[in-house]
Amino acid sequence: MQENTTHQPILLGCIADDFTGATDLAGLLARSGVEVALHMGVPENSEAADSSAPFQIIALKCRTRPVQEAIDETQAALHWLKRAGASRFYWKYCSTFDSTDDGNIGHIEEALMKT
């Protein structure tokens, strides 16, 4: 993947733990007048990045997956955002804190901070 250097820089790369949260965030940003690119899942390649959008959001379904799968998926999303040129990140997790029985929101957060 190539870094996003030819177009407007990515101001914020967002990872959401579910599609609803991702679309809510995308709608909020778009209503504020900024261009947003919303990806359902981690994009396969760098061409999937809408380089004209300074806000990139990746919607995942990781909140209720087994912890290690959720960590792996969110780390893949973070790596994609970094390769696309993002330098600031936002982890959007469910406000109801529902998760697996063991809980994965905190595990994911810790893994993202180490990545």
Residue 26 located in a structural domain: yes
In this structure, what CATH number is given to the domain that contains residue 19? 3.40.50.10840
Report the SS3 class of residue 100: coil
Residue 4 located in a structural domain: no
Residue 99 located in a structural domain: yes
Range of the domain at 78: 12-114
Residue 108 located in a structural domain: yes
Which of the four pLDDT bands, split at 50, 70 and 90, describes residue 105?
confident
Q: Mind listing the pLDDT tens digit for each residue in 23-81? A: 999 999 999 999 999 999 999 876 555 567 999 999 999 888 898 999 999 999 999 99
Residue 83 located in a structural domain: yes
Residue 110 located in a structural domain: yes
Residue 86 located in a structural domain: yes
The string of DSSP codes covering 52-97 is T-SEEEEE---TTS-HHHHHHHHHHHHHHHHHHT---EEEE--TT-
